[in-house]
Structure 1
Amino acid sequence: MEENEVLNPSQKSVLEHLGAKFTDRPLFSETLQQELKSELTLRLSKFQSSIPDSDTLYISKFHLNQIMRCECQFIADREKPFEWSVPTVRGLVSHKAIELSVFWRQDIDPLSLVDEALNRCSNGDDTLAKWIHTLSDGDHSQLRSDVNNRVGAFLESWPPLKKEWTPMLEAPVRAEFAEGKIILSGKVDLSLGKPYGNTAGKVLIDFKTGAFYPSHREDLRFYALLESIRLGVPPRMVATYYLDRSDFSIEHVTENVLEAALFRIEDGVERIVNVLFGDAEPKGCSSKWCELCNEENA
């Protein structure tokens, strides 16, 4: 960002929310990384014997949210073959276009970024490329428009990201437990900053649209724990940014936050192991948004 560049109020708000003086950043224990690893190893190793030798249990934020929300829906979705959908592709292409915007060398308009992202996703012989090629002209145009709205919202409401902020987009993070039988993994939409010694400096950001849900905060706690295990220093803050209203939901990372994420992972893995490999009958839910349980209760 140039020194004389003028920022709008939303862009200034991003800087105000995410910035912090070095003296205000938390210092974490040198032993925290090993303590978290040991605790999670202890809590997850007890499930190892229940997982067949031919299986590996992959756990993402999506799996945890599913099993916590409705075990019946978790099983039903797992048994269905994966299919691309407009919402899934819309999010993926939006993130790719935002990633390109951060590292593009010249000024570029949102729609050009969208077209470049779509071209990259449609070039190849994978299932995503094939799905995009099956779209009608109308559906392709609608997808292009929807993604353009998201990318435009990001470029309007966020300041240009300086290289000194160490921006990383869609960076994978992963941790293995129970001798590789349980793998926790995910990709953070955007991370900024880095730790200095044991002083936290990184901020993890997820981009969303629509209303706030408690699971949004749980998603970022999951990422914060994995990042803490990977680096040994937790992020200082996690934030969900809602593109359609230019607003943050922020949580400062503490050891209590990491502990809550750890307990939730243990709970989620236990439920998944029980319904997949044990004798437990999957439990339904009472949510009005659950199509499966609403059909059964009708």
Structure 2
Amino acid sequence: MRLSHRVRTIVSVSSDESSLNPPLLNPAQQEVLDLLGSAPDERPVFDPNLRDSLIDELEESLADLAPELDPADPLFISKHALSTVHGCEARHVAERDKAFEWSAPLARGSVAHKAIELSVHWRGRPDPLEMVDEALARLAQGTDGLGDWLVTCSEAERAEVRALANERVATFLECFPPLKASWVPVTEGRLRAELLGGRIILAGRTDLSLGRSEGNTARKVVIDLKTGGFSSAHLDDLRFYALIETLRLGVPPRLTASYYLDAGRAQPEAVTEGVLRSAVKRTADGARKLHELAVGTRAPIARPSRSCRWCPALADCGAGRAFLGEDSSVDVFDND
């Protein structure tokens, strides 16, 4: 039996109160505000035929796969799938074939994102732990695997999720200025584009976007929230999102940025046609690899790295163990 969870009614704060007491911004929040702003001459105008050109390039690159793909069972491509298949293919296959199980560290991310979503649209000053509790209550009422896990997990696991998510939400609220409605903030925005008559689907979900295009003028900023340090893969993730956004609307975002909550710093990148063309090539190459590995037309290539320690196939991967210093009998470069 599913337990019921109390969801509190949101109480509004009058506009007079918020306007009479504008928030004071700390330096990190001011840096975010400066990043988001742009003068009219800094907003690029794109060719109205750009979307069709990008679609043509993608579909021409993948046209030979069309007879092998079924629109009723399309090839789904996400930023995670692209990142893993362009990294270690052996790990990609191992993670793909492993049954997914929720845990406190995995649930933390979903709870934190939901809490941040609530905080962005909350009337009044949001309290981090209150946002987390609201997120837990709402997610526990869901019918997906996370909802089931939150209902059945131990009190210790729930407390761990609460603590981990609270840290992430508190950091976000410390680093980001209050977002005005006029900035058109969208959290957990879904992106989707179909290729080859629905045989290939590009899909994603942005953590936060602000602004919207006007005509062929790019004004939107897409932000991915990160913990830990910089990785070049984060740039690729956002280029993929910029590509889907362009295929969807015909106009790309003006800017993408990975925001590193632990450091209070952003890694921005202006979106240009060159960036989008690069994303097209990476996406087409990744789609081909994903399909070939799915149908088994070639064996996955092992590319050992520091992430081998978290790979579910490590016990059976000589290259990975050798890279980590656990097996000196294997040349880590044999498979690449």
TM-score normalised per structure 1: 0.95
Checking the alignment, whether the CA contact within 8 Å between 2:224 and 2:258 is kept in structure 1 is: yes
**Distance in 2 separating the partners of 1:61 and 1:185:** 8
| 1:237 to partner: Cα distance | 0.5
**Aligned pairs (5 A) from 1:249-288:** 249-288=267-306
- Percent of aligned positions that are identical: 45
Which ranges of 4 or more aligned residues in structure 1 deviate by more than 6 Å?
none
The equivalent residue for 1:30 is 48
Is 1:174 aligned with 2:195? no
**Aligned pairs (5 A) from 1:282-297:** 282-290=300-308, 291=311, 292-293=313-314, 295-297=316-318
Amino acid in the other structure paired with 1:206: D
- Give RMSD over aligned pairs: 1.6
**Distance in 2 separating the partners of 1:71 and 1:161:** 40
1:253-297 CA distance string (max 9 Å, x none): 000100111100011011111122252111111213223357421
Amino acid in the other structure paired with 2:74: T
Closer/same/farther in 2, CA of residues 295 and 289 from structure 1, 3 Å limit:
farther
TM-score normalised per structure 2: 0.85
- Choose the corresponding residue for 2:82, options 56, 64, 67: 64
Is 1:233 aligned with 2:251? yes
What secondary structure, in the 3-state scheme, does the structure 1 residue paired with 2:317 have? helix
What secondary structure, in the 3-state scheme, does the structure 2 residue paired with 1:64 have? helix
1:85-108 CA distance string (max 9 Å, x none): 333221111111111011112223
- Choose the corresponding residue for 1:112, options 124, 127, 130: 130
The equivalent residue for 1:165 is 183
- Choose the corresponding residue for 1:138, options 156, 176, 179: 156
Checking the alignment, whether the CA contact within 8 Å between 1:12 and 1:159 is kept in structure 2 is: yes
- Choose the corresponding residue for 1:42, options 39, 48, 60: 60
Gaps of 5+ in 2: 1-17, 319-326, 328-336
The equivalent residue for 1:154 is 172
**Aligned pairs (5 A) from 1:93-112:** 93-112=111-130
Please identify, of 250-259 and 130-139, the stretch whose mean Cα deviation from structure 2 is larger.
Answer: 130-139
> Larger C-alpha radius of gyration, 1 or 2?
2
What secondary structure, in the 3-state scheme, does the structure 2 residue paired with 1:204 have? strand
**Distance in 1 separating the partners of 2:90 and 2:315:** 12
Checking the alignment, whether the CA contact within 8 Å between 2:113 and 2:207 is kept in structure 1 is: yes
**Distance in 2 separating the partners of 1:214 and 1:2:** 41
1:23-68 CA distance string (max 9 Å, x none): 1111111111111122222222321223367632111001101111
**Distance in 2 separating the partners of 1:272 and 1:152:** 38
Q: Which has the higher contact order (CA 8 A, sep 6+)?
A: 1
- Choose the corresponding residue for 1:219, options 232, 237, 254: 237
Between Structure 1 and Structure 2, how many residues are aligned?
298
Closer/same/farther in 2, CA of residues 52 and 176 from structure 1, 3 Å limit:
closer
